[in-house]
Amino acid sequence: MSIVAAFHWNGSNEKSISYMIIDGNFNLRAGPTLKTLNSQNFNLFKKEAEQAVKEFFDEIETLHKGKDCEIKLEYKVVNQATPVRQYSTRLNKPSKWTEFVDKKFREFFALKNKIIGSLQLAKQYRRKLKKPELDHFKEKICGLNIVAANGKTAYQHHLWAIALHATKSNYQQKLRKLTKSIIAKQGIEQGVKKRRAG
């Protein structure tokens, strides 16, 4: 069995960590979870961020127990700003918030990999989809009924993009694969319901 764990650090004004875990058939195994962190007090933020990262890796360990599976981590914790001119290097320095999340993410990855031994760290997902590709991606994801219809949903779209490692050049291919799997699964579920009713 293969598992993909998607992790997203949002370092904007509303600092948050979100994650979800899916299996090879795109079934949700954990999440999607959104943890909004303290953005005023850095000491409180550190406690909350460390706990959120720990919970993410604890979920992975729980899913792995007693199972023979490969676990791939797709993540977005960009620890470096957009390249700037050399004389403005201070603008290129990541925030202390991002540095802390990045540090804890790597610490827990190393710790859990000693226990699990089969964690794979994917190349970091850096480039977010932008319009019009993002709008098309959101429309298709919503059409598959895999995103909650109410409440905050933007983070879920980002998590699915990260989990699929969807980029401008490959997102349509990734969506086709996801759609095919979801439709096949829905067909199986409908068949089971008909047999039970019959």
> Which helix (H) or strand (E) is 33 found in, with range?
strand 28-36
Which SS3 state, helix, strand or coil, does residue 13 take? Answer: coil
Q: pLDDT tens digits, residue range 131-171?
A: 899 999 999 998 888 887 666 788 999 999 999 999 999 99
Tokens 């000693």, residue?
A: 114
Q: pLDDT tens digits, residue range 14-58?
A: 899 999 999 988 999 998 999 999 999 999 999 999 999 999 999
Q: Could you tell me which residues come within 8 angstroms of residue 103 by beta carbon, excluding any fewer than 6 positions away?
A: none
**How many domains does the chain fold into?**
1
pLDDT band with cut points at 50, 70 and 90 for residue 6: very high
Which SS3 state, helix, strand or coil, does residue 123 take? Answer: coil
Q: Which amino acid is it at 157?
A: H
Task: State the CATH number of the domain containing residue 126.
Answer: 3.30.420
Q: Which domain holds residue 11?
A: 2-197
Q: Could you tell me which residues come within 8 angstroms of residue 107 by beta carbon, excluding any fewer than 6 positions away?
A: none
Please, are residues 7 and 17 in contact by the beta-carbon 8 Å criterion? yes
